[in-house]
Amino acid sequence: MTQSVAIVGTGNMGGGMAANLLSQGWGVRVHDIDRAKVDALVAHGAVAAATPGECAAASALTIVCVVDAAQTGDVLFGAGGVAAAVPAGHTVMLCPTLSPQDVESFSQRLAGMGLQAIDAPMSGGPARARDGTMSLMVACADAVFHQHGSLINTLSSRVFRISQQPGDGARTKLVNNLLAGINLVGAAEVLALAARMGLDLERTLDVIEQSSGQSWIGSDRMRRAIAGDYAPRAHVTLLQKDTRLAMQAAQAVGFEGPLGAAARDTFARAAAAGLDGLDDAAIYQLFKR
């Protein structure tokens, strides 16, 4: 491609997207506070940049793939940030799971500087980011969507066009992640119950996977839990954040439900119990205790 893409934040998902784009022949510039992650991508053809602004300045579009709103704000508007380094018309794709209000605020502030925003939270995990099959929930103006359609379709074979209003992608992602949190808490609870009953956990999960209790996240995480594998792919803190943001979004529209609050509180308990740095399969440990 004649134009390069900037990716700020090259962790599990950002690194996966960078690897995918490089394999498809795109030029990719990368920045991350973890130099080892940058170096791993440079070895495959990426160009390293010292700051987010330097990363974005020579690129047609900047993908922001950091953890939260505070980091996103720093990347966009902090010292060495993107917004001050790029020309009018530059597009910023916001991929973290953020509150709708934060997405709207970032988008409006970028628009005031002559920049375009794509609200594009993602789902599916690092392997699907690498092979281009992750889900993208896209909310932006139609003109911006069509302008960057080739890139969007390279990033994801499962693009969901949510609306033209930035913030709606975030709302969709929070609804999805709240259900993921509810399903994971439920799977961990019933596996802990099965253990207390003296059942074989592998066989029990075999039954669940072929029956009405099946959920993808339950199967994925509980297989790891049974194996005692808590090396972090998705830290407990991520669903702790996402379920909290989802319940704040629910409160903002006057909605109350029993399960979302229970999931939020369970992830908060797990973090307080010292499981925050582990894979979110460690929710099982909370119930097992």
Domains of the chain, by residue range, sit at: 4-165, 171-288
pLDDT at 3 over 80: no
With cut-offs at 50, 70 and 90, classify the pLDDT of residue 289: confident
* pLDDT of res. 1: 42
pTM: 0.91
Residue 288 annotated as catalytic: no
Over residues 17-63, the pLDDT tens digits come to: 999 999 999 999 999 999 999 999 999 999 999 999 999 998 999 99
Three-class SS state of 70: helix
Percent of the chain predicted with pLDDT > 90:
96
Q: Identify the active-site residue in 37, 173, 241, 288.
A: 173
Residue 73: which of 85, 83, 60, 63 has the closest Cα? 83
CATH fold of 171-288: N-(1-d-carboxylethyl)-l-norvaline Dehydrogenase; domain 2 (1.10.1040)
Higher pLDDT, 263 or 12: 263
Over residues 87-127, the pLDDT tens digits come to: 999 999 999 999 999 999 999 999 999 999 999 999 988 99
pLDDT, mean of residues 163-188:
98
How far is 130 from 84, CA to CA, in rounded Å?
A: 30
* Phi/psi-derived region of residue 26, left when phi > 0, alpha when psi is between -120 and 50, beta in every other case: beta
CA 16 to chain centre: 12
pLDDT, mean of residues 148-165:
97
With cut-offs at 50, 70 and 90, classify the pLDDT of residue 2: very low
CB atoms within 10 A of CB 164: 14
Over residues 232-279, the pLDDT tens digits come to: 988 999 999 999 999 999 999 999 999 999 999 999 999 999 999 999
Q: Specify the DSSP class assigned to residue 141.
A: -
- The pLDDT mean for the chain works out to 96
* pLDDT of res. 147: 96
Q: Which CATH superfamily is domain 4-165 in?
A: NAD(P)-binding Rossmann-like Domain (3.40.50.720)
* pLDDT of res. 217: 96
